[in-house]
Every structure is written in C-alpha cells, then in structure tokens.
Structure 1
Amino acid sequence: MGTEILPDERALRHGRRARALAQMHADDLDILVLGRQANARYVAGAQQLWVAGTRPFGPVATLVRDTGAVHLLSTWDEGIPEDIPHDNLYGLAWNPLTTIEVLRRIDGASTARRVGTDAMSPTFAQLLPQAFPQAELVDGEPAMSAARRIKTPEEILALRRALAVAQTGLAASVAALAPGVSEQSLIGILLEAMAAGGISTPASQDSAWVTSRAHPWQRAGAQRRVGAGDLVAFSAGILGEGYIGEVGRTWPADGEADAGVHALYRRWDVLWDRLVEACRPGAVAADLLTAYELAGEALPPMPVARGLGMGFDAPVVSPLLRQTAEAERLEPGMVLSVTSYVWEPGVGAVFGRDAVLITTDGAEVLTDAPHWPH
C-alpha cells in the first residue's frame, strides 16, 4: 500500500464544488469562509486532519463565487489538487492578523457584499470585517448543509467503498464471537480488519457491546465479557476518503437462541420494514419516528436517522427534535444512516444500522452485511 497523500478524485471534488457554488448563488453569497474540516474538504478536495474534538474557529478554506477559486490553509503542496495553485495556499499563523491579511488579498474580498462563515468566534467576529470591508457577515452553514445533503453520484460511490470496508471489519468481529470473549477483543479484531482493508481511521472505537437484559439503553454490565445466551451488538464505522461508512448488526453469542430471541428478531423485522417504507422521496422525515410507533416499539434516545456523508449531514431525525423532523422532507440523492432497535426485558436488544439511499422511486439499502439467520 502506498503512503502518498492524494487529493480526492477530480470528478468527486468538482461535483461537490459545483453544488457549493450553486448554493452560494441561491443564497446570494459572494464568498464562503469555512472552518469546519468536513466543509473545507468538501469544497477543496484536499485531505484534512480528522479533528473529532471542539476547537476554535479558524479560516481553513475560502471559496469565491465569481471565480470558483479556492484558497486553502496548508503548509505543504502534497495532496493539494492541481486546480488550487500554490499561490492560493497559506500557512498556519499564530497571529490571527496574519490570516486576516491573507484573506484581505483574495481577489474579490474588497468588493464582496455578503460573506458567509460556517462558524464564528469573538476574535474573528471583530477581525473579519477588516478582510471584507464592504460585506455583511452572515451564517454560511445553511448553504453548506443544503449543498451536502444531496449526494453526487461520485459521493455515493465513495460511500459504497467506505461501507464495504466497515462491513469487512464487522464480519471479522462476528466470526470471533463466542461465550467468554471480551468486548475489547471483539473491538480490536474489528479495527484490525478495517485497517487491513486500507482504512485506519475509525468513526468510533466503542464498536461491540453486550446488550442489557435489564435496561433498554444500557450495557449488560461492567465485566464487558460475553456470556452464553447474550445478544451482542456490533457497530462498525470508518472514515474513508472523508466519508463515514457505518453498519450495525446484532448476533447471539453462541449462534443459537431460544424462542424469546427469535420473537425479538421478528419484531425487529417488522420495524425495519416500516423504516424502509418511510424512506421515500417527498416523505416527511418524521415518518421515520412514526415507523417506530406503528411497529409498536419504543423510540430510542439516539437519532433514528441522520444524513450520512462527511460527518453528520442533514437531516437529523431524533425524538428530541421532532418539530425539526416534521419540517424536513426526504429528497432523491440523500443517504441516511438508519437505526433500528428493539428490546425485551430478560432477553436483550437487537440493534441494526444501515445506509439507505433515497431514490426517485423509493429507497436503496446500500449496506448488505448479513443478519443472524433468524
């Protein structure tokens, strides 16, 4: 395997940039100043450091509507697309005034009327008007969110590649499942298999757990070791080419189960069918919450569905944000990560997570990892 850092494929990055520029036209934004890593990679096509924690806002990438030019924070040329010239790169500076001077020299900065940013800090709220003296500073995240919610064909291919690696890790971990094995061992096997598949950046590290028979949303206990008759949930997630691929499944510890487990899986089947039915173009996103209610299952505390892409894309469908979900419509080109979860006291839980592409005439499930043959 080579170690060369390469930019995203030309068709992938140009398709995304075209969507961002179109949304800038729609929102009347002359310039977008982006600090969030996923947004920066979306418009630039250059690999960004995976930063999972909170950090202050800083201009990482700037997109100019009239010229389509991208200006990018980078201390080297390796991995930078050929359509971003060296003169459009600027280094990391401890003094924010140095960065402001870089932005001020961008063609169009002095005449821009509306400049959007995807985040803000008190310092840059004071300094950015120096770079864009004629501009009104507005929230640019809605434009990026609108652009990212619909995936280009090349993005869907990238998601398929990421999902394939995640499913490889899942299969390896399931193959090692047996009474007595620890959750940590299962997680290690899963991560090792995904790294062998070419991706060493997990989207999450807590990827296997014994479901509780006493509480619907808790682990089985502190020992973190699989026992006979346990239902074990797996959640494999990776970050590949900037895209998150994730898949979830639940398997009995010893491959066999009693009537109670079979009945729980049949309930899961009913719920999953309802969820897929809700994934149709033009549907209200809240229909995914209604699917749980129609199946007679309790809504989970985690989101039932969320946009899958470079991190969390719109929409986020959660019982805690029902009013927001009522206002969202599903559109062709959206890819959702859909969570299905049922629980029975004394038995445990069956958890599933699948990627679903909204098409013009329904839904296509992109994940094909096998379920326990119940």
Structure 2
Amino acid sequence: MRRPDHLHKDRSVHISLSRPLADRLSEYAAVAADLGVDAVALVPGPNFTRAIGQSFMSHERPFLVVIPSQGQPAALVPNLELGSWAQVGFDGAVFDWRDQDGYDTAFAALLAHLNITSLAAEGQVMRVFVHHALKRAQPDLRITDGEAAISGLRMIKTPEDIAALQAAIDISERALARTLDSVRLGQSEKDVEQALIQALFAEGADDLAFPPIVAAADNAARPHAHARADYGLKAGDALLIDFGARKHGFAADITRTVFLDHASDEAQAIYDTVLRANLRGHEIARAGVTAHAIDDAVTAVLEESPFSEFIRTKTGHGLGREVHEVPYIMRGNHQELPAGTVFTNEPGLYISGQLGVRIEDDILITDAGCTSLTRFAKELTVLKC
C-alpha cells in the first residue's frame, strides 16, 4: 500500500499551557455563578486535567478541587500526592489526609473553610462515595449536576488543544499505514490488532485512546466488535479498523474500512454510500450549524440509499481529552456548534452476518467551514495481501 506523502512527516509539537492556573480556574468560578451555585467541584478526570494542567489518578482515595464563584479555591488532596500537587502552583488552601486516618476530617475542614451551601459536581465523573463524604461533612449542602456546563468549557478547543489533537491523529495515521502494509490473508483479527498497537507506540503514542476495534467480515457488522483470535482473514472480507492514539492528553478517533484481495459489487455500493454520507458531513459542517442539522444531512444520504435498513448509529460525537464528549452529533440535538469544535464524522452501514463499513474523520469547525484533521485516504481500498 502506498503511504501518502504527509504520513512520512513527523509534525511533533511541544504542547504548553498558555494561560496561568488562576485564569483557567476563573472559568469554573464563572460556571458556578452562571449555575447559581456557590462553587464547582472537580475530581480527577478530563475537566480536572484541563483546569489544573496536570493529570492525577482516580482511585479509592478522594481528591477534589472546589472553585467558588467568589474567593479562593481549595483542594482536598491525599497526603501521598502532596509532592506532585506542589508542582501545580495552586495558591488556595489544601486539606490533606492519610489512609490510616481516613478522609472524613479533611472533608469537614474543607467545607468549614469554604463556607458554602451549594455545589455543582460533574455528574458523569464524580463517584458516589465522594458525594456521600461531602454530605456527611455537611448534610445541608445542596449538590447539583453541573456536567453539561462544566464539560462544555472543553468544547471550544484552544490552539494548543488542536495541536495536541493533530499530533495524536498524525501518529494514528502513520500507524495505520504501517499496519495495513502488514496485513495478510490467514491472519487473525487479533494479529492485526497487535500489529496496530505496536505501530501506535512505535510512532510515538503516549497511550491508546481506547482499545482498538479490528473486525473483519461478519464481525465488522458489530459497531463495537472485539477482535477474534479464531478467525482467519479471507479474500473478499471487509476489514474495519477503529482506533486512535493519545498524545499530550488528547485522543484521536479514526475509522477506515478496507477490503482484502477484492470487493464484491454490493460491497462497493455499500462503501460508496457511506463515503457519500461522510463527504456530506464535511460539506455541511461550519460554525453556527446545529448538531441536528449535520446528523440529519449525513443520515439522509444513508436513508435515501437501498441500504437504509442497515443504519445503526448517529453520525458522531465531540472529541478532545475524551474520546466521546460534547457535542453529540445526532438528530434532536439543536445545539449550535461554534468555531473550535472538534467532532467525529463517522457514518456507517452494518449488515448483520455479512459486513460493516464505517468511515470516520475528525473535523474541526471553523468560521469559514471546516477542516478535516484526518487526511488518510478514503477512496475504496483493496489490499493485495
């Protein structure tokens, strides 16, 4: 398989945080004010990393930062993390605790210091035991779900964010080229999966964005298939690969479907339909368009084809620090997409027992339209393997 010219280039970049910590935290103070609560709480995860500028593990030890709408933030930090926390440059009060002592006293001290009565938490991230610890420390504390507003700050990507995404995508595309060059009939899906993982790290990935999906023939008709060790690739198979590298904390998410040795007339027609739907997504994407409008236009291409009964999924989702984040590109979501939004455009058709085809690009919304951050070839590809 000929490697596109741009895949030979390592466009590695140094990613730095351009804004001081206090400025980043002030955004969450503004969210608290907008939500009408006294403070916002962040726990380790993508929002925490965006705000703090450093990632910390989420495990059995509670760890949180509380940012009031007014006044200095405060943090509850496991004692063993104090050395790492000192490198963050956090100016607020810090309440630490040791495993042997438990954390209830630290929670009580944190809330007494803050003197708040309401708190917005990350509904999809904060764990129940942290919620319970807050309520034990202050039973009258009102805790609400601020997930949409808190995570919404990540929707518009900064230039640093986009550079990190591009680095992850470039690594992924180089790895895919290496992997497809190595595919041979008779290999298992697991063999291809392992070759892909090795190529991702060889090309510079910090981690996998998610466990890759490598699926051939009838397995490709399962949108979230698992690679099989007991199936040997056969001539005429569709081979669907959905994967991504993680670099500088950001995730790529790319899918390409190729055919082995040859593609039947029906397979080519299915592929052409999905490709037209994918290209329609590129055509309509621009600042101010709604997620509904994009999905409606893309899905309409599939619905107007002879294969409409094989639609299984929406068009896509936001992409950044998480593989799936806001906005969700689906009918009924009338959220307007501002410039700086990155989303996946991944129409597919899935014929149970036969094959699946998905083509996925990572798209940056701009004022002028959109830019595809993915550049790997999309024309129907038959591997002579």
> Equivalent residue for 1:354?
361
- SS of the aligned residue for 2:256 comes to strand
For the residues of structure 2 that align with 1:194 and 1:205, how far apart are their CA atoms?
Answer: 12
Q: 2:104–2:137: 8 Å Cα contact kept in structure 1?
A: no
Look up the SS of the partner of 1:11 in the other structure: coil
Deviates more, 1:185-194 or 1:112-121: 112-121
CA distance in 1, matches of 2:276, 2:92: 56
Counterparts in 2 of 1:165-180, with a 5 A limit? 165-180=171-186
TM alignment of 1:1-374, pairs within 5 A = 9-11=16-18, 14=21, 17=25, 19-49=27-57, 58-67=62-71, 69=73, 71=75, 73=77, 75-76=80-81, 77-78=83-84, 81-84=87-90, 88=94, 90-91=96-97, 93=99, 95-104=102-111, 106=113, 109-110=114-115, 112-119=116-123, 124-125=130-131, 127-128=133-134, 136-212=142-218, 223-254=230-261, 256-290=262-296, 291-295=298-302, 296=304, 298=308, 300-311=311-322, 312-318=324-330, 322-323=331-332, 325=333, 327-343=334-350, 348-372=355-379
Three-state SS of the structure 1 residue aligned to 2:347 is: strand
CA RMSD of aligned residues (A): 3.5
Q: Residues 45 and 81 of structure 1 are in contact (CA less than 8 Å); yes or no, is this contact kept in structure 2?
A: no
Structure-1-length-normalised TM-score: 0.80
CA shift, 1:128, in A, is 2.4
* Identical-residue share of aligned pairs (%): 21
- Structure 2 counterpart SS, 1:10: coil
Answer yes or no: is the 8 Å Cα contact 2:285–2:294 preserved in 1: yes
Q: What is the one-letter code of the residue matched to 1:223?
A: D
The two structures have a TM-score, normalised by structure 2, of 0.78
Cα separation, 1, equivalents of 2:218 and 2:258: 14
Q: 1:85/1:18 Cα in 2 relative to 1: closer, same or farther (>3 Å)?
A: closer
Shift in CA distance, 262/303, structure 1 to aligned 2, threshold 3 Å: closer
Shift of the 164–121 alpha-carbon distance from structure 1 to 2, 3 Å rule, reads: closer
User: Separation in 2 of the partners of 1:134 and 1:365?
Assistant: 49
SS at match of 2:253: strand
Could you tell me how far apart the structure 1 residues matched to 2:180 and 2:73 are?
47
Moved runs in structure 1, 4+ residues, more than 6 A?
Answer: 218-222, 344-347
2:207 is paired with a residue of what secondary structure? coil
Instruction: State the alpha-carbon separation in 2 of the partners of residues 189 and 121 from structure 1.
Output: 36
Do the aligned partners of 1:276 and 1:363 also contact (CA within 8 Å) in 2?
Answer: yes
Equivalents in 1 of 2:206, 2:175: separation in Å?
11
Greater alpha carbon shift after TM alignment, 360-369 vs 36-45 = 36-45
Q: Deviation string for 1:218-269 (max 9, x for gaps)? A: 8698833211111101112233222221211111123x43444433332222
SS at 1:163 equivalent: helix
Per mean C-alpha deviation after superposition, the further-off stretch among 155-164 and 263-272 is 263-272
What secondary structure sits across from 1:32 in the alignment? strand
Can you give the 5+ residue segments of structure 1 that lack an aligned partner in the other structure? 1-7
CA 1:57–1:275: 2 relative to 1, 3 Å: farther
Deviation for aligned residue 1:98: 3.2
Alpha-carbon shift at residue 306 of structure 1 (Å): 0.7
In structure 2, what is the Cα distance between the partners aligned to 1:284 and 1:292? 14
Q: State how far apart, in whole Å, the 1-side matches of 2:224 and 2:84 are.
A: 45
Q: How many residues align?
A: 355
Q: 1:68 to 1:221 in 2, by over 3 A?
A: same
Aligned residues of 2:62 and 2:77 also touching (Cα < 8 A): no
Range moving further from structure 2, 72-81 or 192-201: 72-81
Deviation of 1:365 after TM superposition, in Å, equals 0.8
Render the CA deviation track for 1:2-60: whole Å, top value 9, x for unaligned: xxxxxx733177575454344334334442212351221121111233x6xxx889443
Residues 235, 249 of structure 1: 8 Å contact kept = yes
Greater displacement, 15-24 / 268-277: 15-24
Q: Give the stretch that moved more between structures: 66-75 or 151-160.
A: 66-75
Distance change in 2, residues 1:30/1:215 (3 Å):
closer
Contact kept, 8 Å, 2:218 with 2:355, in 1: the verdict is yes
Query: Contact 2:54/2:88 (CA < 8 Å) preserved in 1?
Result: no
CA contact (8 A) 2:295 2:315 kept: yes
- CA separation of 1:142 and 1:264: change in aligned 2, threshold 3 A: closer
CA contact (8 A) 1:228 1:253 kept: yes
CA-CA distance at 1:209 after TM superposition: 1.0
CA distance in structure 2 between the aligned counterparts of 1:332 and 1:191, rounded to whole angstroms: 33
